[in-house]
């Protein structure tokens, strides 16, 4: 059903020098500690990472829960902050689609789409035959997802020992990892421009609309970069 050779090849991406393990670990340790502090028990914390597996979404959930927001407001806030997963999925899944593979694999494994797994897949897909890419992807996804769940448990258990400076240190690891991966992904003019313009326009739009800044800034930066790349 799933080709184990490609599955484990993907799974092993959590080892090695460009492993996302440290970055994912640091940020989900912080999530585990945060969930404990807002009153979740350990099963609920595990359940949360297991089912959501998207960092900004979990942060928004925690913030909204803390101020007692209504369910509809929580839904809208999380949906808004995780809308970025839509262009990420659309720019990944066509690379993995193969007619010989069953559809359930795609609908189930899209759960693994998160920045770290996405960046690793984007970096490595060309080295895998198209037919086997979905199994490779399921391997990457299972590996990164397991780290996130294990780290949530560690963070929950260790929360009493984490002081403020350590939490601040943990919180910078993820943006640093992502920034380095993005710098590493700058291999064509179009992608480099998308990244640089996104990093400028995202924060710029923050002054107009904090909630929508990532989407407005990202969509306009990506569109500008696309046209410059196509018509230069």
Partner 1 sequence: MSEMSSNIIVVILVTSFATYLSRFLGVVSSEKIKETSKIFKWFNCIAYSVLAALIARMVIFPAGELAESGVVIRLLVVAVSVVMFLFTKKNLVYPTVLSAILLSLLNSYL
Task: Tell the smallest beta-carbon distance from residue 4 to partner 1 (Å).
Answer: 23
- Contacting residue, 56, 153, 154, 159, with partner 1 by CB under 8 A: 56
Q: Whose Cβ is closer to partner 1: residue 7's or residue 40's?
A: 40
Which of these segments, 2-10, 136-144, 149-157, 161-169, binds partner 1 (CB under 8 A)?
161-169
- Contacting residue, 3, 42, 65, 159, with partner 1 by CB under 8 A: 65
Distance from C-alpha of 222 to C-alpha of 220, rounded to nearest angstrom:
6
Helices (H), the chain: 4-11, 21-37, 42-52, 55-66, 71-82, 85-90, 93-96, 103-109, 115-124, 133-158, 164-185, 189-206, 213-231
Place of tokens 């590996």: 143
Where in 136-155 is the site for partner 1 (CB under 8 A)? none
Residue 112: name the closest of 77, 143, 67 by CA.
Answer: 143
- Contacting residue, 4, 15, 171, 208, with partner 1 by CB under 8 A: 171
- Contacting residue, 9, 13, 58, 142, with partner 1 by CB under 8 A: 58
Cα radius of gyration (the chain)? 18
- In Å, what is the CA distance from 45 to each residue of 6, 34, 40, 152, 191? 31, 9, 6, 7, 36
Q: Is residue 158 a contact point for partner 1 (CB under 8 A)?
A: no
Q: Whose Cβ is closer to partner 1: residue 62's or residue 157's?
A: 62
Which of these segments, 7-15, 104-112, 136-144, 145-153, binds partner 1 (CB under 8 A)?
104-112
Q: Is residue 201 a contact point for partner 1 (CB under 8 A)?
A: yes
Neighbours of 55 (CB within 10 A): 21
Contacts of 136 (CB under 8 A, 6+ apart): 6, 7, 9, 10, 121, 124, 125, 128
Q: Whose Cβ is closer to partner 1: residue 2's or residue 167's?
A: 167
Task: Tell the smallest beta-carbon distance from residue 114 to partner 1 (Å).
Answer: 9
Collapsing DSSP states into helix, strand and coil, what is residue 13?
A: helix
Q: Is residue 120 a contact point for partner 1 (CB under 8 A)?
A: no
Q: Whose Cβ is closer to partner 1: residue 26's or residue 128's?
A: 26
């Amino acid at each position: 059903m799933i080709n184990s050779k490609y599955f484990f090849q993907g799974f092993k991406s959590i080892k090695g020098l460009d492993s996302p393990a440290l970055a994912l670990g640091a940020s989900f340790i912080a999530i585990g500690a945060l969930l404990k502090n807002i009153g979740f028990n350990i099963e609920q914390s595990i359940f949360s990472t297991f089912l959501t597996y998207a960092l900004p979404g979990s942060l928004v959930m925690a913030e909204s829960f803390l101020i007692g927001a209504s369910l509809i407001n929580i839904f809208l806030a999380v949906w808004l902050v995780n809308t970025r997963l839509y262009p990420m999925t659309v720019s990944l899944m066509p690379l993995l689609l193969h007619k010989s593979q069953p559809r359930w694999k795609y609908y189930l494994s899209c759960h693994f789409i998160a920045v770290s797994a996405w960046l690793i897949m984007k970096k490595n897909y060309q080295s895998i035959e198209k037919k086997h890419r979905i199994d490779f992807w399921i391997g990457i996804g299972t590996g990164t997802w397991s780290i996130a769940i294990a780290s949530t448990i560690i963070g929950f258990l260790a929360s009493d020992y984490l002081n403020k400076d350590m939490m601040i240190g943990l919180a910078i690891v993820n943006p640093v990892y992502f920034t380095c991966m993005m710098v590493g992904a700058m291999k064509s003019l179009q992608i480099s421009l998308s990244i640089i313009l996104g990093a400028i326009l995202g924060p710029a739009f923050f002054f107009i609309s904090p909630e929508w800044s990532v989407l407005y800034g990202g969509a306009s930066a990506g569109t500008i970069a696309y046209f410059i790349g196509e018509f230069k």
